[in-house]
Amino acid sequence: MATKDELWKPEKSPTPPPGTLPGGAHIVDEASPALRTVPGEPMLEVKGLCTYFFGEEGVGKAVDDVTFTVRKREVLGIVGESGCGKSVTSLSIMRLIPNPPGRITAGEILFEGKNLLALSEEEMRKVRGNKISMIFQEPMTSLNPVFTIGDQITEGIRLHMKLGKSQARERAVEMMELVGIPAPRDRLDDYPHQFSGGMRQRIMIAMALACDPTLIIADEPTTALDVTIQAQILELMKSLQARLGTSIILITHDLAVVAEMAHRVNVMYAGRVVEEADVRTIYKTPKHPYTIGLLCAIPRVDKPEGKLCVISGTVPSPFHFPKGCRFGNRCPMKFDKCEAEEPPLFPIKGEPGHAARCWLYEPDKQDPATEKEVRRKMLEAGERV
């Protein structure tokens, strides 16, 4: 097993070139650590997933006809503002939607050939924490304050791996060492409040890795951490993913995190996937006005004097989506058809695997100049806010 020093040995990298995100994250870097592992065949296939919430206001379509695939050894980034359906998608995969008021109403979730929606609750418990693990965004609320860290890590190990108490504790020590927690044997009987925020997040990662899962869902794993600790957690996740070959669904609103970690990216808005492509394509040639707006809102280290975009308005309530395109009421490019009919995902010509849910990219209307025009109008719209 590698020592902590070996895990944290920094890689030498050149001065960030033009086209980087804050903190030096590479937008189009062929040598990015995340891209060194080559994805394999599909492991998880989500098809037409619909997760609705039923309340006094009506039906809230939090996730509405979402389809995507995660391959072996792949990192899939899912990005978007709060309220776009990212976390509900992850909870749907784990079948942790509270019912009532939520319910998965349609679709399939195929994991290693089995439809998770068809499994009984007892069968699903054998999958959670074993084959599929989840790292939640706030470790202090996810860890039980009245149980020691050792008890919480060993619970899943004893349940799924059928190890005795002493063997499970040794496995827990091994996992804590793997994620860089100093003196793990001495800290095994400490409580969550005795650890810093960054250390608690490492414990969550240790718990997720404890049973050797084939898929990890990381729901905004760096949101509550300062920038330095964020960088350490991301470096840890990249190192572990490259060594263990685990697939990861990385859910975040931080595009810099996606640039560092992901092979492919799905951009979500109002319960829908509005754009999908490999990570280099998304950052180099984004198509959907929402994606362009998100990227224009990020400060660029190579353009410190440039104006930033502001996307006017807010994500609509899932109980009251607008008619037609769901981004239409915030889009400076909208025209009559946008208000009348919602667009499907259109494949982008000459860019395999790239698709955008926008009427600007109908097969007979695609124009390379459209992206620049969208960017210009998004910046103009931002100046008026």
C-alpha torsion sign, points 272, 277, 280, 286: negative
- DSSP letter (8 states) at residue 303: B
pLDDT of residue 126: 92
375 or 26, greater pLDDT: 375
At 349-383, the pLDDT tens digits run 999 999 999 999 999 888 878 888 888 887 776 65
210-241: b (≥16 Cβ within 10 Å) or e:
bbebbbbbbbbbbebbeeebbbbbbbbbbbbb
Match 């020691």 to its residue by tokens.
148
pLDDT value at 16 more than 90: no
pLDDT of residue 274: 97
Burial 17-35, CB ≥16 within 10 A → b, else e = eebbbebebbbbbeebbbb
Burial of 149 (0-12, 13-18, 19+ CB in 10 A): buried
pLDDT in tens, 63-85: 999 999 999 999 999 999 999 99
**Which pLDDT score, from 0 to 100, does residue 238 have?**
84
CB-side neighbour CA atoms (13 Å) of 118: 8
CA quadruple 93, 98, 99, 104: dihedral, nearest 10 = -20
Q: Of how many residues is the chain composed?
A: 385
Distance CA 82, CA 314 (A): 10
* 308: Cβ contacts below 8 Å, ≥ 6 apart: 296, 297, 298, 299, 382
pLDDT 10s digits, 93-132? 999 999 889 999 999 999 999 999 999 999 999 999 899 9
DSSP for 204-233 reads HHHHHHTT--SEEEEESTTTTS-HHHHHHH
Give the chain's mean pLDDT: 85
Does residue 291 or residue 12 have the better pLDDT? Answer: 291
**Measured distance CA(25)–CA(193) in Å, rounded:** 32
Q: Write out pLDDT tens, residues 179-222.
A: 889 999 999 999 999 998 889 988 988 898 888 899 999 998 87
Q: Which amino acid is at 255?
A: L
**Structure confidence at residue 269 as a pLDDT band (50, 70, 90):** very high
pLDDT tens digits, one per residue of 309-326: 788 889 999 999 999 999
How far apart (Å, rounded) are the C-alpha atoms in residues 211 and 207? 8
What percent of the chain lies above the pLDDT cut of 70? Answer: 87
Section 280-298 average pLDDT: 91
pLDDT at 383: 54
* Nearest Cα residue to 36 out of 216, 271, 265, 241: 241
Which range scores top for mean pLDDT: 26-30, 75-79, 231-235, 243-247?
A: 75-79
Radius of gyration for the alpha carbons in the chain, expressed in angstroms and rounded: 21
Cα 105 to Cα 49: distance, rounded to the nearest angstrom: 8
- Structure confidence by residue, pLDDT tens digits, 122-176: 999 999 989 999 988 777 778 999 999 999 999 999 999 999 999 999 999 999 9
Residue keyed to tokens 């072996």: 72
The residue that leads in pLDDT, 384 or 280, is 280
The reported pLDDT for the residue numbered 30 is 42
Q: What is the pLDDT of residue 37?
A: 54
Give yes or no for a contact between 211 and 133, defined as CB atoms under 8 angstroms apart: yes
| 49: β partners | 66
pTM: 0.84
DSSP state of 330: G
CA distance 126 to 124: 5
